[in-house]
Structure formats: structure tokens, C-alpha cells
Amino acid sequence: MHFIVLSAILQIACIAHAVRTGRVQYWPIIILIGSFVGCLAYFLVEILPEMRNSRATRRVVANVARAIDPERRKREIAAQLEVADTVQNRIRLAEECLQLGDYQNARVLYERCLSGPYADDPSFLLGRAHAESGLGLFAETRATLEHLIAKHPDFKSNDGHLLYATTFEALGESDLALAEYRVLELSYPGEEARLRYARLLAKTGRLGEARDVYQGILKREKTAPAYYRKKEREFFEAAKREIGALGG
């Protein structure tokens, strides 16, 4: 009985997919006559090749591979760099090192790229600043970011701006950090900057302002689309906990 029900469900699903995607007309007949075999044939001939060519599927496969062997891509790029010591390969390896938390090697690689025509490249400077921050070298991070700003005053980066604010905070420059967070509250495409702003306001005793920022975060959660609530869940949950801890 269970076999018959499962077979019927699979047949309905495959036929619905064939009709919806405009597959050739004989597929529904094959699926109906062939039962499980017909469904398997449809999957192998029509669905599996489509899945292999899907960008989403490739992304899932890449994420699984990264979870199994996080440093595989790093080794592959390092091998390519040995064959061709180009700026492009150095940057690819530097970016991979950053993602893996290998900040020391990332910093060295960015340093190697910041020469000649790329001596003041803004994306390379920002990468070095991220590596320096990861190493806890906040004075160096600030110097790198301010060099970037001086050389490229029109360069825009939300992540770079957030890094600038967090660097001031790490250096104990609370007023400067708050000024940057105040700008980011309105411009940053996510809740991390607002959460950090609220935390620093609370830390510096400005509880009423902190509460207002937390409440703004929670209001956005109520009206945000589902994908955004999912993406920013950790920050929404933190805001709920932390506004409760303020009391009053």
C-alpha cells in the first residue's frame, strides 16, 4: 500500500514538473506507464543535468566541499601562485586567507601587492586593513584606512566604513566610533552596524539613545521581508536580549 502511494506521489510530482517546464509531451506517458522506472528515467534525463548546470547547485556543492576540506581552495590557489606569481593570484590567495582567518599570510600577500601601479589600490589597502584588524593591530588598521581615505576620498565600502568604526572603538576612541556608527545607522545594509552602535551607546552610559536604536532594529524586524529576517537573525536576537538587559 505504501509503495503504491509513494509511486503515485512521485508520478504526480514528475508529471507536474514536466508540464510546468514545458518538457516534451511523451514524458507524462512514460512516467505513467513506467511508474518508478519512468520517474527515474525522467530524473536522470531531464532533472539531473539541469541540477548540475544550476548556479545554486554549484554553490551548494562548493559549500559542502569547503565544509569537508576548508583549506582545499587555499591549497589550489597557492599551487597556481607557485606556477604564476601574478597580482591576481596573490589577491585570490589573500582573500581566501582572510576568509579562513589566516590573517598573517593575508597581510603579507596584500603587502606584496601594494607596490608599483598598485601601491595605493583601495581594495588592496582595505584587504590589508581587514588582515591587520584580524591580528589585533588596530593602530595599523587605522593608519591603513586613513591612508586609503586620503588617497581615494570618493571610495565607498560599507564593510570598510564599519571596519573604520570598529577600529576606533577598539582603540578606545568612543566619540569617533559613535560618530561613524551614527552615519552607518542610516546607510549600512544590515543590522550589525546598528547593533554595535546601540552597544557602544549603552557602554558609554547613553542608555536612552541605546534603547532607541535597539527599538529601531526590532521595528525593522517586524516589517522586513522573510529573507532579510533570516539573514539578520543573529542581530535581531541579540537586540532582543540586550534591550531587555538595559532595564527601565
**DSSP label at residue 217:** H
Predicted local distance difference test score (pLDDT) of residue 61: 47
In order, the DSSP letters of 133-166 are HHTT-HHHHHHHHHHHHHH-TT---HHHHHHHHH
Q: Which of 12-21, 81-90, 168-177 has the highest mean pLDDT?
A: 168-177
Instruction: Kindly state the average pLDDT of the residues 2-16.
Output: 68
Return the minimum-mean-pLDDT range out of 1-15, 32-46, 136-150, 188-202. Answer: 1-15
Residue 209 has pLDDT above 80, yes or no: yes
Return the minimum-mean-pLDDT range out of 1-5, 159-163, 170-174. Answer: 1-5
Which pTM does this prediction carry? 0.73
Instruction: Kindly state the average pLDDT of the residues 126-151.
Output: 97
Cβ-Cβ contacts under 8 Å for 164 (sequence gap 6 or more): 142, 145, 180
Q: How many CB atoms lie within 10 A of CB 46?
A: 17
Q: pLDDT: is 83 or 188 the higher one?
A: 188
Question: Are the C-beta atoms of 45 and 26 separated by less than 8 Å?
Answer: no
Dihedral sign computed on CA atoms, order 139, 144, 150, 156? negative
| Whole-Å CA distances, 116 to 113, 123, 125, 153, 241 | 8, 15, 14, 20, 50
**Interval 61-83: pLDDT, tens:** 445 555 666 778 888 877 887 88
Q: pLDDT: is 72 or 141 the higher one?
A: 141
Confidence bin at 6 (pLDDT 50/70/90): low
Predicted local distance difference test score (pLDDT) of residue 139: 98
